[in-house]
């Protein structure tokens, strides 16, 4: 996940902060915050996302915007239920 890589760059001192990441990536600070908030996902959800097969063509089956609502939920049990609901939807497609 991009957020994990970005977090590592900040922690290692490669970049000063998230504002610098946004400038380097030519994205708004708000967009970078959306990406970095994915670090708030429960660890098992992050792990599952990291192991999803790469999308070679077309759209990702689980777009980033669907994950934002999950990341905004502080209760990891509720996150798990929300994540499962998305997975069920994807499986039905």
- Mean per-residue pLDDT, 57-85: 95
How many domains does the chain divide into?
1
- Domain span at residue 41 reads 2-92
* pTM above threshold 0.85: no
* Residue from 90, 18, 20, 80 nearest 60 by CA: 90
Confidence at 79, pLDDT banded by 50, 70, 90: very high
How far is residue 11's CA from residue 7's CA, in Å, rounded to a whole number? 6
DSSP SS3 for 15: coil
Query: Which residue has 């509720």 as its token pair?
Result: 78
Summarize pLDDT for 10-56 with one digit per residue, the tens.
999 999 999 999 999 999 999 999 999 999 999 999 999 989 888 89
At 93 the pLDDT is 80
């Amino acid at each position: 996940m991009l957020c994990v890589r970005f977090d590592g760059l900040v922690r290692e001192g490669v970049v000063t902060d998230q504002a610098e990441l946004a400038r380097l990536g030519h994205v708004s600070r708000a967009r970078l915050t959306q990406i970095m908030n994915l670090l708030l996902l429960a660890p098992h959800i992050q792990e599952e996302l990291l192991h999803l097969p790469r999308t070679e063509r077309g759209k990702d089956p689980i777009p980033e915007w669907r994950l934002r609502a999950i990341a905004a939920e502080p209760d990891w049990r509720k996150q798990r239920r929300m994540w499962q609901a998305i997975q069920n939807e994807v499986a039905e497609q």
